[in-house]
Amino acid sequence: MSVGAPPTTAPLLEARNLELRYPVRTGTLRRSTRYVRAVDDVSLELAPGETLGVVGESGCGKSSLARCLVRLATPTAGSLLYRGTDITRASPRSLRPVRREIQMVFQDPEASLNGRKRVGQILATGLKLRGVPTTEIKEEIGELLRLVGLDPGHVDHFPHEFSGGQRQRIGIARALSADPRLIVLDEPVSALDVSIRAQVVNLLSDLRQERSLAYVFVAHDLAVIRHASDRIAVMYLGRIVEQSPADDLYDRPLHPYTAALLAAVPVPDRAAARGRSRVVIRGEPANALELPSGCRFRPRCPRATELCAAVDPQLADHGGHHLVACHHPLDGPAQVKSTGPARMDGPGSAEADQLRP
Amino acid sequence: MAPLLEVERLGVRFHTDGGVVRAVDGVSFALAHGKVLAIVGESGSGKSVTALSLMGLTRSANTELDGAVRFDGKDLLNAPEDELRRVRGGGMAMIFQNPMTALNPVQRVGAQIVEQIRTHERISRSEAWERTVALLRRVGIPRPEVRARAYPHEFSGGMRQRVMIAAALSCAPRLIVADEPTTALDVTTQSQIMDELEQLCRESTVALILITHDIGLVARMADDVMVMYGGRVLEHAPADALFEDPLHPYTWALLRSVPRLDRERVGRLPTIGGSPPSLLNPPAGCHFRPRCPHSFDRCVEVPPLRESVDPAADGEEVRGKQDEGHLDRCWLDLDTKRRLRHLDRLDTQAVALACTDGAA
């Protein structure tokens, strides 16, 4: 399928037309059930060692997607393949070996660490499950703590004795304790202060190189996402509306929504802050229960036409593995260009064009 | 004209089980009518406690306040509670980070604003209602006559924050204190709300104290900036001067550690090692000393907040006009700071380049 793409390794994780619906009971007696499609027809691929950034505003379904990818939620449709094995509806027992290889780091380290367990105990669980001999566990815990930049002398401390940044490091160490190939990071730095955020982002990129990890990096912060990712998917109301190699997305946003998101980020520079045109879009995302016809971004889009109301746009490649779902992308009329001098600096930027033929 | 707000050597100490926390330590500033002051800092820097103390919201049995806060010439720090109540919401209004906890969940939003108006002014319920609807319209809430009868949970986060702004504006305050007003919101919503807040403040010459950790917002909104760290002000300058010529090592490290969309991607983000000081047990001398790569023996003494001293005899010529009112709390002299800042920048660029090469 990937014609013209550079040869790639088999994908580590592959989602095909993934859907996650939540029932919402409405009506006087809560008798009618309607559904919110938090994740709607999402397809993506992740190569070993690659970082895919998923960005979007609250309610766009990025956290639901993350939960699907680690199978904390069971997708209601579509399929999810881990190293070629279908795990969409795999039973908890058969998932066990996969769970070790796919780990997750949560946004709020305070809520995701057991406050009654000491750091050593928290980390030991993953090691035991992995079959590390009891005699070596202590040593391994020390090694894990060193790896994430914590003092191995603190094994007997409780999570509350650490600062926010340190707690997130414990969360990362816990994910590493299972020796995963893939870590899904759901807003891993958004609860942290600026100076600490940079430390954790750097730590993640060091670990990735050292352990050849693949990441799915979910965040709302466009600057952090850009820094951390090889490839980025932009989500809006459950859909991926644009997907592209990281630098290309920022140099050449094609979807009006992506452009608006980028324009809305305040830049820490006086002259630029004054010169930028700010309000590109008005309003708020549509109600997920009452989606507009056609393109979901249509009611807020400055470029919307009748076509947008009639036909739901599909993702199409605009060259350089830059996919966008828009009838009126920002580089002119939709046309498939020949693959130009693409910026394919990261591994696996080629998988993108397999999404929708 | 006398400044609208004058804060002199404000100190806030909390007596806790663990000991005395000096949350705010000798903060002084003045704010003129219609100006925007941004207070930047990380968690625990004392920026929110400073704001809350201005409004008398930190008063309690275990709090010790000293210094002076004068609003329109009147002292607020020692004002009796009923006098404070007149100022709160009247002369000075506050917008909190989380509108869901700041609004009463079991009362319709319109009623909450009406109540506030009628606390401060003797007007009829229907007049107050009319004003409420007008306010809601002004902050960009569609169909305000209908929406005023809705409960807070029926609004989205952005709309709820708009309600908070309408409530803050309801008694024509001269000062609005906004504590991380858009931190909980999405960027597109943030952009809309900040635009509206800026416009409203400019239209009615309301002064604004904007408390935030978002350097981008500061660049966009502020006339003056105060950088806080460990309860103290480390740098206080006009915004242009702060961004062009940051003089405290913490400020320049902070500005650099923010990943930026308007620059080339770097291989590695510059960081500040270590973590912010514990206020129960702060380091002696300069609070930034343990994390500062440029600290020297004098830093165990607390440096004063002052204009940087230039050792050269013709110092006056070296100092540009933009240095006026540019205060920082560091023992290094002006030349050394600028030289070190330049060297630091070269260092981080070298590291970034090396990492980018390595990855390629």
Instruction: Enter the ipTM.
Output: 0.81
What is the reported pLDDT for A348? 36
Q: Is the pLDDT of residue B129 over 90?
A: yes
What is the reported pLDDT for A26? 76
Of A165, A268, A284, the CB nearest to B156: A284
What is the reported pLDDT for B311? 58
Chain B: residue nearest A199 by CA?
B271
Shared domain check, B200 and B256? no
Share of chain A above pLDDT 90, in %: 62
Host domain of residue B255: 243-359
The answer to whether residues B218 and B239 touch, using CB atoms and an 8 Å cutoff, is yes
**Tokens 């820490």 belong to which residue?**
A268
Shared domain check, B266 and B123? no
Q: How far apart are CA B162 and CA B144, in angstroms?
A: 12
Q: In B, which residues are within 8 Å of A205 by CB distance?
A: 268
What is the reported pLDDT for B4? 94
How many CB atoms within 10 Å of residue B60?
Answer: 8
Structure tokens at A337: 């260009």
Question: Average pLDDT for residues A297-307, to the nearest whole number?
Answer: 92
Residue B208 lies in a domain: yes
Q: Do B159 and A284 touch (CB under 8 A)?
A: yes
Q: Do A199 and B271 touch (CB under 8 A)?
A: yes
Q: Is the pLDDT of residue B293 over 50?
A: yes
Question: Average pLDDT for residues A320-328, to the nearest whole number?
Answer: 94
What is the reported pLDDT for B261? 83
- Measured over the CA atoms of residue B3, residue B180, residue B288 and residue B352, the dihedral's sign is negative
Please count the structural domains in chain B: 2
The answer to whether residues B201 and B208 touch, using CB atoms and an 8 Å cutoff, is yes
Question: Average pLDDT for residues A45-70, to the nearest whole number?
Answer: 93
Residue A132 lies in a domain: no
Shared domain check, B276 and B196? no
What is the reported pLDDT for B279? 86
Extended strands (E) in B91-159:
92-95
Q: How far apart are CA A152 and CA A251, in angstroms?
A: 43
Q: Do B265 and A194 touch (CB under 8 A)?
A: no
Share of chain B above pLDDT 90, in %: 55
Q: Is the pLDDT of residue A93 over 80?
A: yes
Q: Do A223 and B156 touch (CB under 8 A)?
A: no
| pLDDT tens per residue across span A232-277 | 999 999 999 999 999 999 999 999 999 999 988 888 888 877 766 5
| pLDDT tens per residue across span A109-140 | 888 999 999 999 999 999 998 889 999 999 99
Q: In B, which residues are within 8 Å of A226 by CB distance?
A: 259, 261, 265
Residue A147 lies in a domain: no
Of A58, A165, A227, the CB nearest to B265: A227
Shared domain check, B211 and B335? no
Under 8 Å CB-to-CB from A100, ≥6 apart: which residues? A126, A129, A130, A178, A179, A180
Closest listed residue to residue A78, CA positions, set A68, A91, A64, A70:
A68
Using a CB–CB cutoff of 8 Å, tell me whether B154 touches chain A: no
Strand order in the sheet with B74-75: B19-31, B5-16, B63-71, B74-75
Q: Could you say which of B222, B255, B281 is where a domain stops?
A: B222
Task: Tell me the CA distances in angstroms from B319 to A267, B227, B251, B314, B335, one per residue in order.
Answer: 28, 21, 19, 9, 10
Residue B234 lies in a domain: no
The answer to whether residues A10 and A348 touch, using CB atoms and an 8 Å cutoff, is no
Residue B70 lies in a domain: yes
Q: Is the pLDDT of residue A351 over 80?
A: no
**Which residues between 200 and 229 in chain B have a beta carbon less than 8 angstroms from any beta carbon of chain A?**
213-220
| pLDDT tens per residue across span B45-101 | 999 999 999 988 988 999 999 999 999 988 999 899 888 888 888 899 999 888 888
Residues of A with CB under 8 A from a CB of B: 57-58, 163-166, 193-199, 201-202, 205, 220, 222-224, 226-227, 246-247, 250, 260-270, 272-274, 278-279, 281-282, 284, 345
* Phi, psi of A331, deg, nearest 5: -100, 30
Residue A121 lies in a domain: no
The answer to whether residues A206 and A197 touch, using CB atoms and an 8 Å cutoff, is no
Question: Average pLDDT for residues A91-101, to the nearest whole number?
Answer: 91
Residue B230 lies in a domain: no
| pLDDT tens per residue across span A200-236 | 999 999 999 999 999 999 999 898 999 899 999 999 9
| pLDDT tens per residue across span A168-178 | 999 999 999 99
Q: In B, which residues are within 8 Å of A266 by CB distance?
A: 190-191, 194, 214, 216-217, 219-220
In sequence order, the β-bridge partners of residue A182 are: A102, A214
How many CB atoms within 10 Å of residue B316?
Answer: 8
The domain that holds B199 is classified in CATH as 3.40.50.300
Residue B228 lies in a domain: no
* Phi, psi of A168, deg, nearest 5: -65, -30
Q: How far apart are CA A181 and CA A329, in angstroms?
A: 36
Q: Is the pLDDT of residue B181 over 80?
A: yes
- Nearest CA-CA distance, residue A43 and chain B, Å: 25
Q: How far apart are CA B242 and CA B245, in angstroms?
A: 5
Position B215, amino acid: I
Closest listed residue to residue A158, CA positions, set A109, A212, A87:
A109
Return mean pLDDT, chain B: 88
Please count the structural domains in chain A: 1
Q: Is the pLDDT of residue B360 over 70?
A: no
What is the reported pLDDT for A218? 95
Of B218, B261, B269, the CB nearest to A198: B269
Residue A138 lies in a domain: no
Using a CB–CB cutoff of 8 Å, tell me whether B292 touches chain A: no
Host domain of residue A236: 13-116+158-354
Q: Could you say which of B189, B222, B255 is where a domain stops?
A: B222
Between residues A32 and A77, the one the model is more confident about: A77
Q: How far apart are CA A39 and CA A20, in angstroms?
A: 5
Shared domain check, B74 and B205? yes
DSSP type of residue B152: G
Picking from B143, B185, B187 by the largest number of A CB atoms within 10 A of its own CB, the best residue to mutate is B187
Closest listed residue to residue B299, CA positions, set B252, B251, B331, B336:
B331
Extended strands (E) in B159-284:
175-179, 207-212, 224-229, 232-238
Residue B335 lies in a domain: yes
Q: Do A270 and B217 touch (CB under 8 A)?
A: no
In degrees, to the nearest 5, what angle opens at C-alpha B63 toward C-alphas B59 and B68?
70
In sequence order, the β-bridge partners of residue A234 are: A55, A242
Max mean pLDDT range (A258-267, B104-113, B137-146): B104-113
Residue A1 lies in a domain: no
Residue B218 lies in a domain: yes
What is the reported pLDDT for B86? 86
Residue A38 lies in a domain: yes
What is the reported pLDDT for B356? 58
What is the reported pLDDT for A339? 36
The answer to whether residues B58 and B65 touch, using CB atoms and an 8 Å cutoff, is yes
Q: Within its chain, how far is the Cα of B208 from the centroid?
A: 9
Residue A6 lies in a domain: no
What is the reported pLDDT for A70? 94
Task: Tell me the CA distances in angstroms from B147 to A203, B129, B133, B151, B162, one per residue in order.
Answer: 47, 12, 9, 8, 12
Shared domain check, B202 and B272? no
What is the reported pLDDT for B259? 83
Shared domain check, B322 and B214? no
What is the reported pLDDT for A182? 96
Residue A140 lies in a domain: no
Q: How far apart are CA A22 and CA A33, in angstroms?
A: 10
In degrees, to the nearest 5, what angle opens at C-alpha B312 toward C-alphas B307 and B315?
50
Q: Do A224 and B195 touch (CB under 8 A)?
A: no
> Which H/E stretch holds residue B65?
strand B63-71
What is the reported pLDDT for A69? 95
How many CB atoms within 10 Å of residue B142?
Answer: 10
* Phi, psi of A43, deg, nearest 5: -120, 135
- The string of DSSP letters for B214-243 reads -HHHHHHH-SEEEEEETTEEEEEEEHHHHH
Using a CB–CB cutoff of 8 Å, tell me whether B195 touches chain A: yes
Q: In B, which residues are within 8 Å of A250 by CB distance?
A: 261
Shared domain check, B151 and B253? no
Q: How far apart are CA B349 and CA B343, in angstroms?
A: 10
Of A202, A222, A270, the CB nearest to B219: A270
Under 8 Å CB-to-CB from B46, ≥6 apart: which residues? B12, B23, B24, B25, B27, B228, B230, B231, B232, B279
Closest listed residue to residue A83, CA positions, set A207, A190, A180, A161:
A180
Residue B229 lies in a domain: no
* Phi, psi of B266, deg, nearest 5: -105, 160
Shared domain check, B248 and B164? no
How many CB atoms within 10 Å of residue A96?
Answer: 11
Between residues B97 and A355, the one the model is more confident about: B97
Share of chain A above pLDDT 70, in %: 89
The domain that holds A195 is classified in CATH as 3.40.50.300
